Amino acid sequence: MSKSVKISCKNLWHLFGKGSAGFLDKHQHNPSEADLASAGLIAAVHDVSFDVYAGEILVIMGLSGSGKSTLVRCLTRLIEPSAGQVLFDGVDLLQASSRSLTDIRRRKMGMVFQNFGLLPHRTVLDNIAFPLEIQKVPKADRLTKAQELVATVGLEGREHNFPRELSGGQQQRVGIARSLIGECDVWFLDEPFSALDPLIRREMQDEFVSLQSRLNKTIVFVTHDFDEAVRLGDRVAIMKDGHLSQIGTAEELLMTPANDYVKKFVQHAPRAKLITTQKIMVPAKAGDISVATHANAVKATDVLEKIAQRVIEADKALPVVDAAGLVVGQVSRENLARALFQ
C-alpha cells in the first residue's frame, strides 16, 4: 500500500535581496550560482522538492544559515516563497486566499517555535485555550478541551499558574498543548527544545515520542542536533546553503550519503544503534549455512548493537533470517567491522 502524501513541496524557492521579483522567470527557474551572485541575491531556499507522508515525523536539519527554518516558514506561508508549490492535502497554499490560508492555519496546522510565545498575563489554562477563543468557541467548551490537554502534557496542578511561575520545560509543554488544541492535521516544530538545558531537553523528547505514539500526527520538526533527529524522526532531510542535500532514514544517510557534506554531517552518529543487519549482510552461498545453524541466526531487522557480541564470538558467519524465518543472507565479523568503522 502506497503512503498517503500530506504535504508536497515542489520546486520551492525563497530569494533574499532587491530585484528578486521576476529574477527566476528571467532565468527559466534555473539560475546558476553566478547568476544569483551577480544579481546580489541569496537563495535561502533553493529549488527544494520533497513529500511529507501522513503520520510520519520528517526532521529538517542543517547548520545555522542552512535554510531549514526559512523552509518551514515557507511551507506555512509565514514567509512568502518566491516560487514553487506547497500542496497541503492537494490544495496549493501559495494560491490560497488570505482568508482560506488563515482558516487552514487555525484548524489544520499546529506550530511550536523556540520562543514559547506564551501570553504572560494569562494562566496555563487560558494560554492553551487561546486558539479556540480566537475561533469563538464557547468558553466552557474551550476550557474543557484545555483541561484535557493539561493532562496530556503532564501539567496537572499547574492550570492556574502564570508563565513566569513555570520552568522552561513546563512553558514548552504549554506551547505544545496550545498547538494541539485545534486538533491540527500537521504539526510544525522549529527547534522547540533548543533553549532547554540537556536534562529537560531529554525529558521533552521522551514526552514528544510518547505524545506521537498516541496522537499519530504528521510532523515537520526542525533541529540542528543529529542525535535529536535520529531519536525523533522517521526520515531526516539535510539542508546546506538553501539546498536539500539528501532526505532519507538515518540508516540511509549513514550507509549511502549523497555527498561529502552529508557524510561529514553524520560521521559521529551512533552507527551501532542505527544500522540494521540487512544493510550489511551478504548473500548466503550454497553450503555455507545449513538448517542446523538456524538456532544461531540473527534477524535482518536487528540493529548492529544487538548482534555485535554474537557475531564477534562466532567462529564463522551467522545466518540472517527474515520475519518468516527464512535465510536471506549471512553476516561475518568482517561485515560488522566494515559497517562500524568504515
Q: Model confidence over 306-317: pLDDT tens digits?
A: 999 999 999 889
Domains with residue ranges and CATH for the chain: 51-270 (3.40.50.300), 273-341 (3.10.580.10)
In contact, 12 and 34? CB cutoff 8 Å: no
CA distance 251 to 278: 11
Q: Which helix (H) or strand (E) covers residue 123, if one does?
A: none
pLDDT reported for residue 292 = 43
Task: Dump pLDDT digits (tens) for 156-167.
Answer: 899 999 999 998
Residue 291 is predicted with a pLDDT of 44
CA nearest to 49, candidates 30, 27, 71: 71
Dihedral of alpha carbons 142, 145, 146, 147, sign = positive
Residue 175 in this model has a pLDDT that exceeds 90: no
What is the arithmetic mean of pLDDT over 188-200?
A: 81
pLDDT at 185 over 90: no
Please give the model's pTM, rounded to 2 decimal places: 0.84
Q: Rounded distance, CA 24 to CA 147, Å?
A: 49
Between 116 and 36, the more confident residue is: 36
Tracing cell 520528517 back to the chain, one arrives at: 58
Report the run of H or E that residue 182 belongs to, with start and end: none
pLDDT digits over 87-112, tens only?
999 999 999 999 999 888 888 888 88
